[in-house]
Amino acid sequence: MNLPSYAYFEGKIVPYSEARVGVLTHAFNYGTGVIGGIRGYWNAEKSTLFIFRPIDHFRRFIQSSRLLCMDLGHTPESLLDVTLQLLREENYQEDIYIRPLAYKADEGIGVRLHNLRDAVSICALPFERYVSNDTNAHLTVSSWRRVDDNAIPARGKVSGAYVNSSIVKTEAHHSGFDEALVLNQDGHVSEGSAENVFIVRDGVLITPPVTDNILEGITRRSVIQLARDELGLQVLERSIDRTELYICDELFLTGTAAQVTIATRIDYRPIGNGMIGPVSSRLRQLYDDVLRGRNPKYAQWNVAVQAEG
Ligand SMILES: Cc1ncc(COP(=O)(O)O)c(C=O)c1O
């Protein structure tokens, strides 16, 4: 993996090699950090790097930090300013992933959220495809369960909760699947290890509600809007039973990293007729056009990294 040249760290932009924490750092030991995940897309025709919905991402980042009793001293706008400065230094001319991190920065022993210093870092690095088989993915239903809102809230991107995602992902990988879906404690479908999930049944697009232990995905929100406004589809946010995964017509995952990842098999069964379905492929195309700045109607979702001055 290509590492960044710079990082925003302790209030300023420094060489990446200087953005270091001690092994006793609270977040490193206890998982008391929150992350963001934002993509930037290089538009060769316009010679411009565009960041996708950064204000929405930073708004969720600050909400996540509040779950861990953090006060970052930042607004979504000030975090975007820092990110733009960082990206001007990096001068990337390719697709990238931006990783904001807020963390409990004190070094020492003691499980708690209070009386600890909060710190923010931001890095950006070149990034391409996340799920290697993103058009014909074979999914499984994980034997693990999703973290619960009353344990570690899935609606926050809490670093420690990614142990749950990592266990799910590695089990799927070792069993030969591309990705896994995780059930809630009550047996309803929540999401993938790092993606929200949608199914199509009889022309209706269905996705679990935000009260089913999901991350409130920015891609999920974008895809719901595109489905309603561009395809005129009915979209339902309701709980999904496990067996609906086996009888639905189409299934796809959404996420900043995974974009629209289409699955055609689940637990060795074909999804629908086992081919890529029309709703999945049209939504994927629409979303890609928006990300790449090819759809002027949604231009306000893309923020350009301009030279300063
Ligand atoms: C657990 C989980 N669910 C869903 C998503 C998708 O969210 P978004 O579309 O905001 O990237 C992510 C992305 O990071 C995730 O980690």
**Contact (Cβ atoms closer than 8 angstroms) between residue 191 and residue 181:** yes
Strands (E), 129-258: 137-145, 179-183, 189-192, 196-201, 204-207, 235-237, 250-255
The atom of ligand 1 lying closest to the CA of 219 is 9
Residue 157: active-site member: yes
**Contact (Cβ atoms closer than 8 angstroms) between residue 106 and residue 22:** no
The atom of ligand 1 lying closest to the CA of 60 is 10
194 CA from centroid of ligand 1 (Å): 5
Q: Among residues 50, 30, 55, which one has the least CA distance to residue 93?
A: 50
pLDDT, residue 309, reads 61
pLDDT truncated to tens, each residue of the chain (309 aa)? 689 999 999 999 999 999 999 999 999 999 999 999 999 999 999 899 999 999 999 999 999 999 999 999 999 999 999 999 999 999 999 999 999 999 999 999 999 999 999 999 999 999 988 888 889 999 999 999 999 999 999 999 999 999 999 999 999 999 999 999 999 999 999 999 999 999 999 999 999 999 999 999 999 999 999 999 999 999 999 999 999 999 999 999 999 999 999 999 999 999 999 999 999 999 999 999 999 888 999 999 999 998 776
308 CA from centroid of ligand 1 (Å): 31
Distance, in Å, from the CA atom of 205 to the CA atom of 235, rounded to the nearest integer, reads 5
Q: Taking the CA atoms of the chain, what radius of gyration do you get in angstroms?
A: 19
Q: Enter the tokens of residue 54.
A: 């950064």
Ligand 1 close to Cβ of residue 196 (< 6 A):
yes
DSSP H stretches of helix in 129-200: 162-174
255 CA from centroid of ligand 1 (Å): 5
Q: Is the dihedral of CA 228, 246, 177, 37 positive or negative?
A: positive
The atom of ligand 1 lying closest to the CA of 154 is 1
Q: 302-304 and 48-52: which strand pairing? A: antiparallel
Against a cut of 0.95, is the pTM above it?
yes
Ligand 1 close to Cβ of residue 165 (< 6 A):
yes
Ligand 1 close to Cβ of residue 194 (< 6 A):
yes
Buried b (16+ CB within 10 A) or exposed e, 142-151: bebbbbebee
118, 220, 269 from 197: Cα distances, Å: 32, 8, 17
34, 161, 238, 274 from 151: Cα distances, Å: 15, 10, 22, 37
Q: Enter the tokens of residue 129.
A: 């495809």
108 CA from centroid of ligand 1 (Å): 31
Ligand 1 close to Cβ of residue 156 (< 6 A):
no
Ligand 1 close to Cβ of residue 98 (< 6 A):
no
pLDDT, residue 298, reads 97
| Residue owning the nearest CA to atom 4 of ligand 1 | 195
The catalytically annotated residue of 46, 157, 169, 297 is: 157
Buried b (16+ CB within 10 A) or exposed e, 198-228: bbbeeeebbbbebebbbbbbbbbebbbebbe
Q: Among residues 108, 125, 128, which one has the least CA distance to residue 116?
A: 108
Our mutation pick for probing the ligand 1 site, out of 59, 195, 214, counting the most ligand atoms within 8 A of Cβ, is 195
| Residue owning the nearest CA to atom 1 of ligand 1 | 194
H or E segment at 259? strand 259-266
Our mutation pick for probing the ligand 1 site, out of 98, 215, 223, counting the most ligand atoms within 8 A of Cβ, is 215
Under 8 Å CB-to-CB from 277, ≥6 apart: which residues?
200, 249, 250, 262, 271
Ligand 1 close to Cβ of residue 255 (< 6 A):
yes
**Contact (Cβ atoms closer than 8 angstroms) between residue 184 and residue 148:** yes
Ligand 1 close to Cβ of residue 217 (< 6 A):
yes
pLDDT, residue 303, reads 97
